[in-house]
């Protein structure tokens, strides 16, 4: 059974269309106007083996917050929809990911209750692309992305940087650690025989 979901989100601030395949090969083809966010989504897909396509538009004349947060919400909703009842999945996953001087840790549980604990120890300085201030990525929106994701996916996620210097490395390592933890959590556990991985018998209520 294909685990694919399409999400459309249209507000006065953003217009988002995403199609997610949980059992893909890591292909990301999302039209994204924020270069660094595009890079993070590509890394997320590559390391999670998720296929993601679509387009992102937002009121960037205001700032990047609305689009980055709403992208997280929409991506989380795509996971929630693609997982359905969550029958047969591992449910939880964990990864420690090294990237040069940086070490990131992620733990996730698709147990139906949204929660985020995120400690990335970022400097707060924007990441500037090609010396163009207008292309700078607002690093303070990273927490908003993951807050939106956990709300949309109805999962709890603990995301930490254990050590590191470069904000670029910290954010990228966090995305990679999260994607690998999520990949483990949403994978099918053949030993369950398709059962719901909860003593409650449900993960959607």
Closest CA to 156 of 165, 164, 147: 147
**Residue 61: pLDDT over 60:** yes
Query: Side by side, which strands form the sheet with 102-109?
Result: 92-99, 102-109, 156-163, 115-119
Q: Find the mean pLDDT for residues 56-84.
A: 97
Q: Find the mean pLDDT for residues 116-132.
A: 88
Stretch among 55-59, 111-115, 200-204 having the lowest mean pLDDT: 200-204
**Residue 18: pLDDT over 70:** yes
Q: Find the mean pLDDT for residues 121-147.
A: 87
pLDDT at 132: 65
The number of residues in the chain equals 205
Between CA 62 and CA 168 the distance in angstroms is 23
Q: Find the mean pLDDT for residues 14-32.
A: 98
Q: In the chain, what percentage of residues exceed pLDDT 90?
A: 93
Q: Find the mean pLDDT for residues 101-128.
A: 96
User: Phi and psi (nearest 5°) for 125?
Assistant: -75, 140
Q: Find the mean pLDDT for residues 84-91.
A: 96
**Residue 101: pLDDT over 70:** yes
Cβ-Cβ contacts under 8 Å for 180 (sequence gap 6 or more)? 47, 48, 93, 95, 97, 106
Query: Do the bridges between strand 92-99 and strand 102-109 make them parallel or antiparallel, or are there none, so unpaired?
Result: antiparallel
Q: Which residue has the higher pLDDT, 110 or 129?
A: 110
Q: In 3-state terms, what secondary structure has residue 199? A: coil
Instruction: Please state the domain extents for the chain.
Output: 4-192
Between CA 27 and CA 49 the distance in angstroms is 8
pLDDT at 186: 98
Q: Is the dihedral of CA 95, 96, 97, 102 positive or negative?
A: positive
**Residue 155: pLDDT over 90:** yes
Q: Predicted confidence band at 162 (pLDDT cuts at 50, 70, 90)?
A: very high
**What average pLDDT is seen over the chain?**
95
Fold of 4-192: Ribosomal Protein S5; domain 2 (3.30.230)
151, 157 in Cβ contact below 8 A?
A: no
Q: Find the mean pLDDT for residues 123-147.
A: 86
Region label for 117, one of left (φ > 0), alpha (ψ between -120 and 50) or beta (otherwise): beta
Report CA 13 to chain centroid distance, whole Å.
Answer: 20
């Amino acid at each position: 059974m294909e685990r694919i979901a399409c999400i459309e989100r249209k507000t006065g601030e953003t217009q988002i269309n995403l199609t997610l395949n949980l059992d893909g090969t890591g292909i990301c083809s999302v039209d994204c106007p924020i270069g660094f966010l595009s890079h993070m989504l590509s890394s997320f897909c590559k390391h999670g083996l998720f296929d993601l396509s679509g387009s992102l538009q937002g009121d960037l004349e205001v700032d990047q917050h609305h689009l980055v947060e709403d992208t997280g919400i929409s991506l989380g909703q795509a996971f929630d929809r693609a997982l359905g009842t969550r029958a047969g999945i591992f449910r939880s996953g964990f990864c420690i990911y090294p990237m040069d001087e940086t070490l990131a840790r992620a733990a996730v549980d698709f147990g139906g209750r949204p929660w985020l604990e995120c400690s990335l120890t970022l400097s707060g300085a924007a990441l500037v692309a090609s010396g163009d201030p207008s292309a700078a990525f607002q690093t303070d929106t990273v927490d908003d992305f993951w807050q939106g994701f956990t709300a949309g996916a109805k999962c709890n996620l603990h995301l930490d940087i254990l050590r590191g210097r470069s904000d670029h490395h910290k954010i990228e390592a966090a995305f990679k650690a999260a994607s690998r933890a999520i990949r483990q959590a949403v994978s099918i556990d053949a030993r369950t025989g398709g059962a719901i991985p909860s003593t409650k018998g449900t993960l959607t209520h």
